[in-house]
Amino acid sequence: MVDATKTSELTWQVEPVRDDLQPAIDAYVVLRRAADAVDRHVESELGEWGVTTAQYGVLLHLMKGEPLSLTDLSGLIFRSNSTLTSLIDRMERDGLVAREAHINDRRVTTVELTPKGGELLGKIRSHHRPFLADMMSCLSPEELTGIGELLNKIEHKINEGNCP
């Protein structure tokens, strides 16, 4: 019989390799598990308001009141243009956003928040911000700062090719 306490942490491992590469691989797996758990938790909470994380991101980026192009929005919420198009289709159908041709370039489509979208965003934000703070409350302010700095280092390494 296998001792589950010794293997439960490494159940993801497909081969019994423990070398100098393993700490990085273990950290990656923990990061993915945590990110997936956070995604599920946040999606569930936002689902109570009838929006997805991506839709909430669109609403947040439009709350300043200035229209944004689909290309700009796709970069801000980390979605491809094709994914964003169907996302905006649903949001427009639900009356949360409106599309318009760009004022100076009719080839560019911009998106802006509707009054209904602004009202929904206000309701969600008043609950969502405390929800996120509670989700992260197991970490001290110093740990929150530290984890942010560490994750930024990883992102910089991936995007720039080196660690800051």
Distance (Å) of CA 100 to CA 53, 55, 96, 112, 152: 23, 18, 14, 8, 35
Which amino acid makes up residue 158?
I
The residue count of the chain comes to 164
For residue 99, list its beta bridge partners.
111
pTM assigned to the model: 0.79
Identify the pLDDT of residue 136.
Answer: 96
Q: How far apart are the first and last CA of the chain?
A: 47
Cβ partners under 8 Å of residue 74, min gap 6: 80, 81, 83, 84
Angle 53-62/115-135 helices, nearest 10 degrees?
Answer: 120
Quote the pLDDT of residue 43. Answer: 96
pLDDT for the residue 20: 85
Residue for token pair 């928040």 = 113
Per-residue pLDDT of the chain (164 residues; tens, 9 = 90+): 444 444 445 565 666 667 888 889 889 999 999 999 999 999 999 999 999 999 999 999 999 988 998 888 988 888 877 788 899 999 999 999 999 887 777 788 899 999 999 999 999 999 999 999 999 999 999 999 999 999 999 999 998 988 87
d(CA 110, CA 106): 10
